[in-house]
A and B are shown apart, each in its own frame.
Chain A
Amino acid sequence: MIRTLKEVYAYREMVVTLVHKDLRGRYKGSVLGFMWTFINPLFQLLIYDIVFSKLMHNAVDRYYLFLFVALIPWIFFSASMTGGSMAVLGQKSLVTKIYFPREVLPIAYVTSSFVNMLLSFVVVFAVVLVARVPVSPLGLLALPLVMIVEYLMALGVAMTVSAITVYFRDLEHILGIISMGMQFLSPVMYNEITMNITGRSLTLFRLNPMYYILSAYRTILYYGGVPDLKTLLPGLAFGVVMLLAGFAIFDVLKKRFAEVM
């Protein structure tokens, strides 16, 4: 484990290059290019606002904002899961031809999605500012921490699924369905307050690691509060466990990558 980490650290430039290449390649050839990183979430927001606030008259105050601050982090996690499943398999030419610590591939994929989320947050902050949410400075300070915990979770999941997909290619499609289901089971479009979830249902609701993450984002950016330790600590614990499990599974499965690809 320590040795693997050391080696991954030695290959940090490879992570940087892969992330750079991915971000540059994403909108390659399009006229607006990198601007799409901002245009995309902006129009998403516009559509949500029209549909949920103007057409459906949602009871939740400023529903577009309520949805938006959780949706952007959710998209990052979901992309790490579904897209991350192909992180190793999609780089067949590298894996079968040359040695490098294989962990680099899911790390680079998740990091690239993470950077993409950070860029989307430029739009999120702008909207939060325009909507005049009374964001607490302490809450803002906690935001990077929440992001890091989410990153750990996303990486743990990506490592697990990217390794398994090499042996079992259906997983990519299965994950598409799982991701859709998870979106409805997580507090993305609603939360326990708007849906009035209590008692045993709430306990079940909290078994989902994403509950803690998305709740924290919403506390900071929608309610203008500070996430309490009861939310942060279980999230952190989930993140660390998922990451360790991901590393362990990856470590076992990586040995035959080059043979079965």
Chain B
Amino acid sequence: MSLLVAQDLHKSFGKTHALEGAGLTIRAGEIVAVMGPSGSGKSTLLHCIAGILPPDSGVVRYGDRELTSMSDRERSELRRTDFGFVFQFGQLVPELTCLENVALPLRLSGMKRRAAERAARDWMAKLEVDGVADQRPGETSGGQGQRVAIARALVTEPKVVFADEPTGALDSLNGERVMHLLTSAARETGAAVVLVTHEARVAAYSDREVVVRDGKARDVEFVR
């Protein structure tokens, strides 16, 4: 079943055309790698379909709702309840402990602290970072920080996780561990993952790939 559908997206930054008619379909529970050379528009595509960036034209549908016609507030709410995000750097709040970071999305949704931290601890254990619960992000290694960020992205059990070069700052061994844990956890919860990467070994964790070239996305056959 199609969960997220983007059609004919256009997005420009000044005179630079980042997306020129890009389209994409994500089905529930699948892991899709969005690949393409630097500057091809793959991150812009991710930001548009995740409701972070409004496209200049085109439509993004999530289930039976149209993201592109929602207000900023509605989009923020949807991002908080249904989407999870993992980026390459700087996504954790440095002043909070790792546990507080992971619990944050639940706290923002109004969950009581004790319950939020209990759920956060469970996710940190799944991502094998329960040992750094009381440390601040600056005190952890790159690989640990990224796994804390994944725990935070998954703690709300989102329907879609958007991951933009999640292993970009990690060495091969840590990158592999992060990908293994991210994809296993997503499969366990049934979350779809949209994975932007330029690394083939990372893309190999996906079910299929979509290639973005010159602002256009090219769907490659469905595997599942």
Partners in one complex: no
Q: Residues of B with Cβ closer than 8 Å to A?
A: none
Q: Residues of A with Cβ closer than 8 Å to B?
A: none
